[in-house]
Copies of this chain bind each other. A is one copy, B any other.
């Protein structure tokens, strides 16, 4: 498929029609080609651009940074170095996020198995007089 209506574009990219229009308004997408009626018609390049934007957005790049990048893009080959540097900076940010996520993963694993142990050990506790099991400190969240 080469040309798409707004609804088709939305379905294909996962962005809402409103968001597509919003991205165009703020310059993340170039002005979209129109039918004689004035209705938008999106070409393949727009799908690729949107997919790229979605990726960097989903990994924490702000709209403002994306605008900067897209502006560099529009300014042509003289900006290639700066673009590369931007992507390298973002790559570092992504790596940092991955590290943070991995650490959180092990934290979650620890807590989950802690809870599992508690669930296993407490099959019959209502009304049981439990002798001096040392009171766990609360708030060990």
| Residues in A lying within 8 Å of B, measured CB to CB | 30, 45, 48-49, 52-53, 55-56, 58-59, 70, 73, 77, 80-81, 83-84, 87-88, 90-91, 94-95, 97-98, 100-105, 107-109, 111-112, 115-116, 118-119, 122, 125, 137-141
B residues less than 8 Å from A73 (CB atoms): 139, 141
A102 to B112, CA, bound (A): 25
Whether A94 contacts B105 by the Cβ 8 Å rule is yes
A88 to B110, CA, bound (A): 11
In the A-B complex, list the 9 residue pairs whose CB atoms are closest, starting with the nearest: A84-B115, A45-B139, A91-B108, A59-B104, A52-B141, A98-B101, A55-B104, A49-B141, A87-B112
